[in-house]
Structure 1
């Protein structure tokens, strides 16, 4: 006799945890956790130091750079773009750009903007070494110092916005230490009545999977939001 399997509908009960009392600081549990996580991460990075982090991540960096090099070769110089847009109130584009230019050699400020920033260090040749996640990969890339990035013409850049509306525009190649170009970053800032808009575009080889582009859309949102918050605090 065959086994008979019967199923019944079961009611699902929603689950939640509510903070009723205790902490006197503003915010909720998520805010407290984020603050504590940032403090712990900053402490660990400081204790390891720049070279300690590079040593610790050496194998992952080798694998990540090999991934990017392979995708660049497969793509034959063709890139795909992904864009993140932030709307800012209470600070103007020129104020933010001046703050970023002033702080682009301040590694502690740059590292604090994104948990997956491991090294951001200036080089003698006016480039900046960046070690960060691109999707699941940790990569070591180089880009021009912020004030050395290219002033733009409209030729060949579909994502370029009108200069009259976005006068603060920079384009920087992302290269591996061996010189292989593996991407670009285009930043465009333009004032609004309330503040400014930040239009942030990343380019990676077209052979890269979608999760690389989606991760970097998120990455740009996190790091520029935090830099803008820091710039606004500096104005006060």
Structure 2
């Protein structure tokens, strides 16, 4: 696969330089997996961009209530597992990816992401990754329904961007902009969190993206989530720096 992109984005995944094409190939495979999980036909042949938009339309046409109904059993089991794992230990495993983007600024992207996460419009969130199924905003924070990492289950959780009390990832002073918050299960128990940090470079910005999982989470699942992070943030940065974000 060789895609011509308007913005250069290079990922560091597990200490390996990963070009945009490789992340797009991962996304293309996950489009099929997400369609199967929803019980809908996979988008037809075409570019990743075309298939991404077709899957987005399918999710929007189904509507949040139907999507949640189809994934309800997944969510029940995933919630039980996450709460059990979190009770076993306060320690965490972290999934970390670095992205270097050849356009835009750290402040602009961080501000856009905060606004998008706090918005009731799910389109930008759903478009970013095939494994995103529903997003909303409630009293306790951002409501997320997605498949994380290499999990066979879709999970539903909350991200409270007003609380960083249980995060184990320390803020790096070299990154002046960040978006961070505690992830909670459906009953409010802390089960992880995020600390995404951003700084300017000579031609764009550098994003250090971190998701915390309960320590008992399988290392293979945590490692697999790095591709999820690379996919969603590459799509978001590409959209925001080219003016295509909605």
Please indicate the TM-score interval, normalised by the length of the shorter structure.
Answer: 0.7 to 0.9
Correspondence for 2:221: 212
1:126 positional shift: 5.0
2:57 to 43, 50, 66: 43
Q: Give CA deviations for 1:72-96 in whole Å, capped at 9, x if unaligned.
A: 122x211121210000111111111
Compute the RMSD of aligned alpha carbons: 2.7
Which runs of structure 2 are paired with 1:37-116 in the superposition (5 Å)? 37-74=51-88, 76-104=89-117, 105=119, 106-116=121-131
Establish whether residue 161 from structure 1 lines up as the match of residue 172 from structure 2.
yes
Q: Distance in 2 between matches of 1:60 and 1:117?
A: 14
Correspondence for 2:133: 118
Which runs of structure 2 are paired with 1:139-178 in the superposition (5 Å)? 139-145=155-161, 148=162, 150=164, 157=168, 159-162=170-173, 165-178=174-187
Q: Unpaired segments of 5 or more residues in structure 2?
A: 6-20, 29-45
SS in structure 2 of the partner of residue 82 of structure 1: strand
Correspondence for 2:199: 190
SS in structure 2 of the partner of residue 190 of structure 1: strand
Establish whether residue 137 from structure 1 lines up as the match of residue 150 from structure 2.
no
Correspondence for 1:7: none
Q: Unpaired segments of 5 or more residues in structure 1?
A: 1-17, 19-24
- TM-score (norm. length: structure 2): 0.74
1:220 positional shift: 1.0
SS in structure 2 of the partner of residue 202 of structure 1: strand
User: Contact (CA 8 Å) 1:149, 1:170: kept in 2 or not?
Assistant: no
Q: What is the aligned length?
A: 203
1:156 positional shift: 8.1
SS in structure 2 of the partner of residue 187 of structure 1: strand
Q: Give CA deviations for 1:145-200 in whole Å, capped at 9, x if unaligned.
A: 5xx455x9xx98455322xx311123211101111211111111011111110001
1:95–1:235: structure 2 CA closer, same or farther, 3 Å change rule? farther
Q: Distance in 1 between matches of 2:202 and 2:186?
A: 42
Over alpha carbons, which structure has the higher Rg? Answer: 1
- TM-score (norm. length: structure 1): 0.77
Q: Distance in 2 between matches of 1:204 and 1:158?
A: 11
